[in-house]
């Protein structure tokens, strides 16, 4: 069974997704980390971030994902980069890289292979619309820009509130206007405004959407 959770940055996809996966004894996949791993590869190899060079490096990159003991692990060319992919440098470039059609096609195929024939909660920006449109349960999380920035500030002590607001505005614009797989609510999805709700309350709403067989 697949549960997809889509939404903009800071809506709580990962936090709620991990909690929900653990409560259901499912695995969890944050698809954004797959794009971050490829972005890190380009940065580490000092690749010029133009479309031609980025596409050339797609087949030179090996990305593996695992979920063990309620924790995600990302391996880039067999090296654990789970922490490195969260850097500001990666954050700055990932949206521009991930909007390239060839990149999205490659990463979409990888994401589908990871979850194939398994129970997964999958979080991202185009999961219910493009990556896994046949998922049994589709969720779309929303929250105000200000609320999302406050949440991200609690995670990123090295950034200011204004920096985060500006970064989120830019990311929202790129994600929602790109020609390939733009950020939008999937058809037949449950839209949840997470503002004013704690993660347990949001998780409860998601679990309620699942079949009785999977309910807690």
Mean pLDDT confidence for 12-26: 94
Considering only the top CATH level, what class is 2-202?
Answer: alpha beta
Using a pLDDT cut of 90, give the percent of the chain over it.
80
Distance CA(60)–CA(53), nearest Å, equals: 11
Query: Does residue 216 surpass a pLDDT of 60?
Result: no
Radius of gyration of the chain (CA): 17
Query: Does residue 172 surpass a pLDDT of 50?
Result: yes
Q: H or E element: which one contains 124?
A: strand 120-124
Q: Where are the domains of the chain?
A: 2-202
Residue 62 gets which letter from DSSP?
A: -
H-only helix segments in the chain: 13-24, 32-44, 51-56, 88-98, 101-115, 145-155, 161-177, 199-209
Dump pLDDT digits (tens) for 21-44. Answer: 999 999 999 999 999 999 999 999
Residues whose CB falls within 8 Å of the CB of residue 11, separated by 6 or more in sequence, listed in order: 141, 142, 143, 148, 194
Mean pLDDT confidence for 50-71: 92
Q: How many CB atoms lie within 10 A of CB 154?
A: 7
Mean pLDDT confidence for 63-75: 91
pLDDT grade for 158, boundaries at 50, 70 and 90: confident
CA distances from 120 to 104, 113, 180 (A): 20, 12, 24
Under 8 Å between Cβ of 202 and 194: yes
Dump pLDDT digits (tens) for 88-147. Answer: 899 889 988 998 999 999 999 999 999 999 999 999 999 999 999 999 999 999 999 999
- pLDDT, greater one: 35 or 215: 35
Query: Does residue 7 surpass a pLDDT of 90?
Result: yes
């Amino acid at each position: 069974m697949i549960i997809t959770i889509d939404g903009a940055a800071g809506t709580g996809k990962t936090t709620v997704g991990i909690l929900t996966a653990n409560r259901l004894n499912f695995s969890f996949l944050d698809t954004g980390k797959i794009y971050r791993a490829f972005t890190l590869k380009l940065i580490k190899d000092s690749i010029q971030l133009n479309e031609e060079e980025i596409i050339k490096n797609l087949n030179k990159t090996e990305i593996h994902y695992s979920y063990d003991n309620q924790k995600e692990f990302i391996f880039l060319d067999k090296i654990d980069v789970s922490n490195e992919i969260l850097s500001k440098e990666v954050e700055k470039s990932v949206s521009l890289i991930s909007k390239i059609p060839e990149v999205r096609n490659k990463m979409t195929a990888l994401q589908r292979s990871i979850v194939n024939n398994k129970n997964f909660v999958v979080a991202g920006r185009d999961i219910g619309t493009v990556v896994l449109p046949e998922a049994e349960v589709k969720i779309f999380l929303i929250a105000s820009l200000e609320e999302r920035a406050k949440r991200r500030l609690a995670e990123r002590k090295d950034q200011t509130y204004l920096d985060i607001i500006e970064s989120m505005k830019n990311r929202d614009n790129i994600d929602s206007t790109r020609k390939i797989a733009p950020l939008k609510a999937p058809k037949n999805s449950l839209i949840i405004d997470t503002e004013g709700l704690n993660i347990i309350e949001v998780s409860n709403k998601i679990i309620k959407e699942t079949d009785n067989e999977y309910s807690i």
